Chain A
């Protein structure tokens, strides 16, 4: 069965620090990849997605993620975080031909002003 691993469960940063959140998936074939963000008290929103093409994907709010097929990874990055980035971040994967995304357990990010 497909699985998605997010190794950092809790991350605490100061404003302006750089961010990288890890995401690894287990499926070896064609895969669609997503990062969602859940701000406190709000619903999940799509940050960015990768289906094909350029492995470096740019999303909203200055986030980007890089698909590295050889490492089965899709890490999320942001060069300089802000206090407003405090949220829960979820990575998700959808294997080719499937319609049920698999989510990681999430990473809680706290940014201190």
Chain B
């Protein structure tokens, strides 16, 4: 049973480019969370999605960031016009239901570097 997959594992973008991060949840999981980890900081919640729905995006910056979880395919976190401050590790986690009641399973993360 494959775990949560994220790709790419490492992504380098120049300022102003777009970054697309993909997350394939575990089989049977319909809930996906995205987190950002900055150096010397813990995981910060960004967005919570279920298939075809954004449930909570209260942790996502209002501009340049968007997320989707289509009916088919992986969840995508998209960052437009990246800036140096977007450099971080981005983790997704999946669960079969709500976190807290159900355990979250984390992917290996995508390390984004903006030059």
Contact = CB atoms under 8 A, between A and B. Distances in A.
Chain A complexes with chain B = yes
Contacts, number: 55
Given A94-B100, A106-B42, A100 B48 contact: yes
Contacts of B103: 46, 49
Contacts of A45: 106
Contacts of A104: 42
Interface band, chain B: 20 to 34
Interface range for A: 20 to 34
Contacts of A76: none
A79 to B, nearest CB: 25
Contacts of B45: 100-102
Interface of B: 3-4, 33, 35, 40-45, 48, 55-56, 58-59, 91, 93, 98-100, 103-104, 106-109
